[in-house]
Amino acid sequence: MRKQRHQTYTHCPVEAALDLIGGKWKSIILFRVLEETRRFNELRRLMPGLTQRMLTNQLRELERDGLIERKVYAEVPPKVEYSMTLFGKTLEPVLMTLKQWAEVQMLPRMKVNETEIEGTAHNKLAEVSD
C-alpha cells in the first residue's frame, strides 16, 4: 500500500501530484488505461517487465486514489476491467503532453544510445575475431 510522503502538501502541489502518479509503473498503467478500458492480463502483456504482484498493487493504489475504477463481471472465468474515472481523465492532458515531449526529446536520445550500443557490440565482435 502506498504511503503518503507527507501529511499535507501546502508548499508544493507538484509533489502531491507525483505522490499519486509517481513510481516506475503508475504513469504507464494510467497511459494504457487512458487509451482504452483494459483487462488485467492485457495490461500484463503490454508491460512485460511488470510482475503480477506489482501490477495488482499499483492498480489497487490507483483505484484507492480515485484515478481508475475496477469493474468485476459476474461470470466464469471472472472478468475484471479497469478504466479511467472522471478524476483520472483529468490527467489526460498531462500524460499526452509527457508523451509528446518524450517523442521529441527522448526518442532521438534513445536512437543515439541504441546506435552506440550496437557500435560497441560490433567493435567487441571485431576485437574477438582479430
Instruction: Return the CATH number at 78.
Output: 1.10.10.10
Same domain, 124 and 109: yes
pTM: 0.76
| 81 and 127 together in one domain | no
Give yes or no: residues 40 and 18 share one domain: yes
What is the tally of structural domains in the chain? 2
Confidence band for 1, pLDDT divided at 50, 70 and 90:
very low
Q: pLDDT (tens digit, 9 = 90+) per residue, 22-60?
A: 888 999 999 999 999 999 999 999 999 999 999 999 999
More confident residue, 94 or 7: 94
Let me know whether 95 and 62 are in one domain: no
Count other C-beta atoms under 10 Å from residue 40's C-beta: 17
Pair (29, 78) in one structural domain:
yes
CA distance 72 to 10: 37
C-beta separation of 98 from 27 below 8 A: yes
Distance CA 97, CA 1 (A): 28
Q: Are residues 14 and 32 in the same domain?
A: yes
CA distance 79 to 74: 7
Residues 57 and 102 in one domain: no
* Domain residue limits at 124: 91-130
Rounded to 10 degrees, the C-alpha dihedral 70/73/77/82 comes to: -20
Report d(CA 48, CA 124) in Å as an integer: 29
Q: Do residues 72 and 98 share a domain?
A: no
